[in-house]
Chain A
């Protein structure tokens, strides 16, 4: 079963090609293939999660080339969790999409699977240049998805997104080339060993490479001052795409956790923890600006996009604190924010359709068709994203606030986290009351929302309840995960001592 580790890359690749060949087939067929594939991915991801939970590191040498020369896939607790989050998010987004929310069907499903291939590959790979390649795979898929459906707003925000990410890719290559030139390796575990032995003369170049990488990952994660592309792009995207994109910022956060704990972590000698002094203030500014943006937004989807930025700031602050407790809380919060923000994007789409021409602008408009159901869902979603008990956002924030160590950390994090929560309460209660209560007496001709599509939103919100009521096993897992991450030697030993299968290469 060792080969199963590559399933999260292969299943979407094969599905994507199949769907591409099936262009022109009836939507029914395309949707069925897409949905069966994502179900299979979810099963594979959960199996991998159960394997990783035992604490074993699974190393898979592609083509049986021994590390550090060949490319390796590495499954540890962190990558298993990220792959599972991705699969579950895609499962619910596609569930919503296949209920006739995916027009034009032909171009959506295949590209979603290529995106999944890129994301899963980025989470699993243990090679820096391979990480770049998977980043490009997921980026080109995301460019197409962002433009899905066309229209001036999408083209405009899409152009910004594409141009910025192309510059980001160039920077990534510069950093990778610098690191290769300095260490002579691209395997992350091997690089960690070489970086730890950096001589003081090479320290400035090494620092430059590490911080250029931080800019690249910061752009993906939407960290200040690199987040300006996000709100408009997410607000303009089609609903299933916007929901899928909730994992995109987390890829940047994953890469930051991975690189700055494994390669530039505590044991990196002259460049130890080089990113931390930058991460902490930038995270807090991201948090503050995101909350301000949510308050100022005049459209519901734009407001939710700013809530994504608030969650990015919160998680980066957790990463910057660089302790087992903080990292565990960050990962818990990451699960919560991915699922809840995705659910909010889908809900905003439903609300928008039922309000007709008023769309998602936060102004007085016609009543929605199903005020009770949608209103309740909006209330639950807002409570979850703000962080009200008994939902998961509350637990995540409490764990983060309890993990502060120094007085300075406590002051800034408590102040900004609580203030941003208050601002979010104000912003969301304003939009909720305007959309559901201050309405005109008429309704639009829009039909009621499909029950199954609505149930996808409900299921995503239910994950928030599950996360808080099953918090004990979840936190146990994230604690174990954080301990594994804080000891990079486990990862390094597992990769560098990996035995390839004998008798395959004859030379």
Chain B
């Protein structure tokens, strides 16, 4: 289970970083989204892997740390809002600059080079 989770986090992170390094806004936003998924799972794991346990003391025999769950909720909300913001900004940049390159290249030749 531990290995599965760490492989998932590693895969999400590496795909996210690869997409972040692209030159166009759309893949970058996808990359950011993947990266935030990886981060969210990572925060969740900071409370240790404890399957089947409840977050309330006294309900079952074992209990799991509730704090990372609260933290990950905050992180999800914030990253969701930020992704929405950056999407609108990317669309606006596409309209203002005439293309979706992050540096706002002016012509087709420049984009190719």
Contacts and interface: CB of A to CB of B under 8 A. Distances in A.
Contact of A159 (B32, B78, B102): B102
B36 A170 contact: yes
Interface in B69-113: 71, 74-75, 78-79, 81-82, 85-86, 89-90, 92-93, 96-97, 102-104
B93 A173 contact: no
Contacts of A167: 20, 32, 35
Interface string A126-137: 000100010010
B46 interface: yes
A155 B97 contact: yes
A180 B103 contact: no
A287 to B, nearest CB: 27
A20 B28 CA distance: 32
A178 interface: yes
A151 B95 CA distance: 11
A174 B90 contact: no
B45 A181 contact: yes
Given A133-B78, A177-B43, A180-B67, A155 B96 contact: yes
Nearest to B74: A133
A174 B39 contact: yes
Interface residues of B, number: 33
A152 B104 contact: yes
B24 to A, nearest CB: 11
Interface string A463-486: 000000000000000000000000
Contacts of B104: 152, 155-156, 159
A4 interface: no
B66 to A, nearest CB: 12
Contacts of B39: 170, 173-174, 177
Nearest to A150: B96
A296 interface: no
Q: Which of A140, A143, A166, A181 has the most CB of B within 10 A?
A: A166
Nearest to B78: A136
Interface of B is mostly: helix
Interface string A156-167: 101110110011
A489 interface: no
Q: Which of B42, B45, B75 has the most CB of A within 10 A?
A: B75
Contacts of B85: 140, 143, 162
B42 A177 contact: yes
A136 B97 CA distance: 27
Contact of A140 (B32, B67, B82, B103): B82
A169 interface: yes
A147 interface: yes
B75 A159 contact: no
Interface in B16-49: 20, 25, 28, 32, 35-36, 39, 42-43, 45-48
A140 B90 CA distance: 15
B11 to A, nearest CB: 16
A179 to B, nearest CB: 9
A186 B71 CA distance: 11
B28 to A, nearest CB: 6
B43 A173 contact: yes
B32 to A, nearest CB: 5
B82 A160 contact: no
B90 A159 contact: yes
Q: Which of A151, A152, A167 has the most CB of B within 10 A?
A: A167
Leading 9 A-B pairs by shortest Cβ distance: A181-B46, A177-B46, A177-B43, A156-B104, A173-B39, A155-B96, A180-B46, A155-B93, A170-B39
16 contacts: A129-B74, A140-B82, A140-B85, A151-B96, A152-B96, A155-B93, A155-B104, A159-B89, A159-B93, A169-B78, A170-B39, A173-B43, A177-B45, A177-B68, A180-B67, A181-B46
A133 B76 CA distance: 12
A212 to B, nearest CB: 12
A181 to B, nearest CB: 4
Contacts of B86: 162-163, 166
Nearest to A179: B46
A177 B97 contact: no
A150 B95 CA distance: 12
Contacts of A181: 45-48
Contacts of A155: 89, 92-93, 96-97, 104
A176 B42 CA distance: 10
Contacts of A169: 78-79, 82
B103 A156 contact: yes
B102 A180 contact: no
Contact of B102 (A140, A143, A163): A163
